[in-house]
Amino acid sequence: MTNLKYRIKKKELAMNQLTLFKENQKKFINLKEASIWASKYLNRKITISNINYLIQYGKIKKYGTDGNPLVNLEELKYYYDTFSKEKQWKEKLGKDINWHLSFTEYKEAERTKHVHRLHPYKGKFIPQLVEYFLDSHIDEFKKEVYFKSGDIVLDPFCGSGTTLIQANELGIHAIGIDISPFNVLISNVKVQKHNLVLIENIINKITLKLKEFQENKKNIIFEEYLSKELTRFNNLYFPSPDYKRQVANGTINEKIYSKDKEQKFLVIYDKLVKKFQIKIEQDKKETFLDKWFIDPVRKEIDFVAEEIKKIEDVDIRNVLILILSRTVRSCRATTHADLATLKEPVTTTYYCKKHGKICKPIFTISKWWDFYTKDTLKRLKEFDMLRTNTFQLCLTGDSRTINIINEIKKLMPEFTEIISKQKIRGIFTSPPYVGLIDYHEQHAYAYEIFGFKRNDDLEIGSLSKGQSEAQRKSYIKGIADVLINCKPYLQKNYDIFIVANDKFNLYPKIAEVAGMKIVNEFKRPVLCRVEKDRETPYSESIFHLKEK
């Protein structure tokens, strides 16, 4: 009897273990299954890349093998339940937040599609936001149509040209205005039609000359040796994703561990510098270019810049200026975490908190020059496949005083006829925020290399002017003056959309001074803040203004 009970109990235990095993098996799913499950659970598109990101950055654990990675469904669910931005952000930003306008369903490649990523730019809005208000398509979230094909839209704070580009895609004419000559160049290079075959030929010639220039220099081979040593070192001490996961769960004290390994690798770095006799710092520290670039990089920049200045065709020269400027920005002697806001020059290897390993400064522009020349041509070709036969032009000038018709007549007289006949339908823009960004200083290297005129004193709300009460009053007047100056060019029943984070509640007064009224406010969460803290809840409003 005892043996029978024992056998029955043993059998029950085995069955329970089998059931438990089967249940546990159900908990592990592959990345494709995880993306499908997460998309249904969150009611928005979650890609395999999104799931892989969570694994790489230690948010969830990887099971299975490298060839067949698996995730635990309960861990994934816990992550999304714990870190649900929509729930968290609505608690902090208010329930009136329009989550549909977060555009979380778009991957980064879609938010930076084709020419939108030709050059970095602080403070630009994503193309999907512009498209939402300019597109005449009506969906369940959008009940009104503001612009239609053939209309004209104006952006008096054009920046890097997002409004112009999206207007072109939608068959809408567009005018941009910006006080910065370099911003105007960015915008016009993006929207203009180019001879890409000729541009590619000139790029190849300059690249060949750059290689000849580098032949007797040691910085190229030095960087190759340095990269190999870094790979070995990082694989040993900062294996991914294990290291990031250990930091995340507190097994490793990141500050102490990284400092120790940073000092350990500096010994290797110093030996290589001496071996290859690399000159690190420049002789002078007077300008931006003197301060923020390692000596061999500066020499390569100057060489390519002189070659570009020899190009007679203005359009081709402008495209090459943009490519070099983008290259130069990526080669500044700073940490990866400080690319957006420079702190102090970094001329040695360092622990990179952003990548969780030892990283290095740049010692030659070759890699980025090669990448950006190819990337620029590819993006211009992509946009050519989408562009419509409409007019887009960005003007250099002060939007408070510029005569739009006169300036367009000088550069694009055929566009002037259309404006005179039908006037501008409305405005879609994002003015500078009070005391947040110095728009000229963010591209200081481009101004120095190519000698663009700086108009810092004409910026409205620049960082250098601060956020005092006096500056807020000046900001109200400045934005209102822009709207007043633009009104004569607009149709009578115009629609104006202004994207702003109005933490000082200035826009009701701006509308009043400009003789307008705010008829609606769309409040949206900003989740995809380039090179900024993406975890802190942040919102902006789209103010809809009409004539009072």
Nearest CA to 427 out of 487, 374, 481, 497 is that of 497
Please report which confidence band the pLDDT of residue 269 belongs to, taking 50, 70 and 90 as the band edges.
Answer: very high
Structure tokens at 31: 């990345």
Element (H, E) at 350: strand 350-352
**CA 434 to CA 540: how far, in whole Å?**
13
The answer to whether 161 touches 191, Cβ cutoff 8 Å, is yes
Helix and strand numbers (H, E) in the chain are 22, 12
Determine the residue type at 500: A
The answer to whether 165 touches 115, Cβ cutoff 8 Å, is yes
What pLDDT digit, counting tens, does each position of 219-242 carry? 999 999 999 999 999 999 999 889
The answer to whether 433 touches 461, Cβ cutoff 8 Å, is yes
Q: What does the pLDDT read at residue 21?
A: 41
Q: Give 436: exposed, middle or buried? Use CB within 10 Å, 0-12, 13-18, 19+.
A: middle
**CA 475 to CA 334: how far, in whole Å?**
33
The answer to whether 128 touches 103, Cβ cutoff 8 Å, is yes
Tracing tokens 């009070």 back to the chain, one arrives at: 434
Distance set, CA 175 to CA 115, 156, 191, 404 (Å): 17, 8, 11, 9
% of the chain at pLDDT higher than 70: 91
% of the chain at pLDDT higher than 90: 70
Please report which confidence band the pLDDT of residue 3 belongs to, taking 50, 70 and 90 as the band edges.
Answer: low
Please report which confidence band the pLDDT of residue 358 belongs to, taking 50, 70 and 90 as the band edges.
Answer: very high
Average pLDDT over the chain, rounded to an integer: 90
Q: What does the pLDDT read at residue 479?
A: 97
**CA 88 to CA 535: how far, in whole Å?**
10
The number of angstroms, rounded, from the C-alpha of 170 to the middle of its chain's C-alpha atoms is 22
**CA 149 to CA 170: how far, in whole Å?**
7
Distance set, CA 367 to CA 24, 120, 272, 427 (Å): 47, 17, 20, 40
Nearest CA to 427 out of 172, 190, 117 is that of 172
Strands (E), 101-187: 152-155, 173-178
Instruction: Give residues with Cβ within 8 angstroms of 439, minimum separation 6.
Output: 122, 123, 159, 179, 180, 183, 432, 459, 462
What pLDDT digit, counting tens, does each position of 383-430 carry? 999 999 999 999 999 999 999 999 999 999 999 999 999 999 999 999
**CA 101 to CA 400: how far, in whole Å?**
30
Strand partners, 272: none
Report the SS3 class of residue 516: strand
Structure tokens at 395: 């003007």
Mean pLDDT of 472-482: 97
Can you list the domains of the chain with their CATH numbers? 19-83 (no CATH), 88-180+387-547 (3.40.50.150), 196-378 (no CATH)
Q: What does the pLDDT read at residue 123?
A: 82
**CA 174 to CA 165: how far, in whole Å?**
9
- φ, ψ dihedrals at 486, nearest 5°: -80, -25
Nearest CA to 442 out of 426, 415, 463 is that of 463
Choice among 14-18, 340-344, 434-438, 479-483 with the minimum mean pLDDT: 14-18
Distance set, CA 215 to CA 33, 274, 295 (Å): 51, 20, 16
Tracing tokens 């071996």 back to the chain, one arrives at: 275
Mean pLDDT of 118-147: 82
Q: What does the pLDDT read at residue 44?
A: 76
Whether 39 has a pLDDT exceeding 90, the answer reads: no
What pLDDT digit, counting tens, does each position of 190-224 carry? 999 999 999 999 999 999 999 999 998 999 999 99
The upper half-sphere exposure of residue 406, i.e. CA atoms within 13 Å in the direction of its Cβ, equals: 4
Structure tokens at 528: 């995809």
Report the SS3 class of residue 311: coil
The answer to whether 484 touches 402, Cβ cutoff 8 Å, is no
Mean pLDDT of 259-277: 96
